Structure 1
Amino acid sequence: MGWLTMSRRSMGGHATAKAYLDDQLTYSRPVEGGTEGLKVLASSCPQNRTYYAAVQVLKNGVGSEVFAVVCKVLWNPRSKNGEQFGYKDMTENMGPCEDNCPRAILDLLTPTEHEHALDWRKRCAENLKRRARKLENGDRIKLGAAITFTDGHVGDEFVVEKRGRRLSFRAPDGYSRYRITRVMDMPWEIVPTTKVHKTIFA
């Protein structure tokens, strides 16, 4: 499907993209022999950019399959053209490029054999695993590919310098410190180093 855009006045009183999409994806309608519908079990829309939801299929009020819905979101409350909100919806079976679904939503999905959905779930799980990695002060890391910085330095190995939650990176043979944007999303590995421990005399 394409993009659907609207003004905030057309959002049915919902104050956020998440609230609007939750409402759109939760419904029940009469069909021959009973009712059918959908129910959002859990959803997330960080920074109003991408909406992820675990959606359950309902038939006669009874829940069955749970699948993922992904919506690309446009959120611009100050838009001058009157279209402050827009979205483009997809199911996981369409293999969305957006693959940062939270673990709490992935865990609610029921098994599937759909190739695109399986690939999407795998990508999401791999991204979660990368973000779960820990970096400590003094760690030495090797990136999957070298980075060129504005001062001309090119490198793929760095020593981590951690101050609270702030990270900077120093070339092993230099003193310059660098920032690496979204380092937790990048492929890297810890380079084993020999640590010298203090000798304690009795």
Structure 2
Amino acid sequence: MGWLFQNDMLRSQTPAEYITQHFSSETDTHKAIVLATATVHGTIYTAIRNEIKTSSVAYVFCGVFLFKNNKRDGFGYKDIDETMGPCEVDCPDRIMRLLSPVEDIPSPGYAAQWRAEVAAAKLRHAKARKQAKSFSPGDTIRLSHPAHFRKSGIAADTFKFIEYRKSTPIFHPVSYPHFLCRLTRATLATASIQT
């Protein structure tokens, strides 16, 4: 499904509250209840309980909602669910724990693959967090792919660690010693410390 927009941005409720209100519904044959939501970087992850009244089938699946809420665009969202295999894989554990087993979802599609990708992303983030705390001043790290800094036009794959600023590691590219930068967790997950 594509994006759905309204002209104005949401002001009286959050995007997660809007999604909860609009995706909890009941008809003679179906009932859907949003049990929980989590907002992560422009994506709302939801645990939605779906009940098919005619067959007494009930299961909880993950709904994934991309959203924008700003003055220029207004409020808009794109709804996907786990069976479609969304690219967004930062779903928090508190949502994942509410989901039914994949076997209980009538048409699971890509749900098993998506859940495996969520688990793999969690491992990558944990590795990056651990690695980000292990640097010593003067350490040199090499990335698997160059990091690009658009405003400066600099691209580099080898960096020297300078210091921590409020637990954030600060680097400079080896070839640009006066350019200080931060690297994302995803980028650090691919890094190796050079000896």
Contact 2:142/2:157 (<8 A) preserved: no
Q: Indicate conservation of the 8 Å contact 2:159/2:171, yes or no.
A: no
For 1:108, the equivalent position in structure 2 comes to 98
2:46: which partner in 1?
A: 53
Instruction: Tell me, in whole angstroms, the C-alpha distance in 1 between the residues paired with 2:96 and 2:40.
Output: 16
Q: Percent identical across equivalent pairs? A: 28
CA-CA distance at 1:130 after TM superposition: 2.3
Deviations 1:102-150 (A, max 9, x none): 2211222222153522222222222222222222241654322234665
**RMSD of aligned residue pairs (Cα, Å):** 3.2
**Partner residue, 1:85:** 75
Compute the displacement of 1:174 (Å): 8.6
1:19 is displaced (CA, Å) by: 0.6
Query: Shift of the alpha carbon at 1:93?
Result: 1.0
The number of residue pairs the alignment matches comes to 180
Determine which structure has more spread, i.e. the larger CA radius of gyration: 1
Give the CA deviation at 1:22: 0.6
Residue 24 of structure 1: how far off its partner (Å):
1.4
Residues 1:102 and 1:153: Cα distance change in structure 2 (over 3 Å): closer
The 1:56/1:174 distance shift into structure 2, 3 A limit, reads: same
Partner of 1:199 in structure 2? none
2:97 is the alignment partner of 1:96: no
The whole-number CA distance in structure 1 between the counterparts of 2:88 and 2:175 is 38
Give ranges in structure 2 of 5+ residues lacking alignment: none
Distance apart, 1:188 and its partner CA: 2.2
Q: TM-score, normalised by structure 1?
A: 0.71
Q: Which residue does 2:16 correspond to in 1?
A: 18
Give the unaligned 5+ runs of structure 1.
194-202
User: Per-residue deviation at 1:101?
Assistant: 1.6
- Residues of 1 paired with 2:98 and 2:159: CA distance? 39
Per the alignment, residue 143 of structure 1 pairs with: 143
Cα distance in structure 2, aligned partners of 1:103 and 1:117: 16
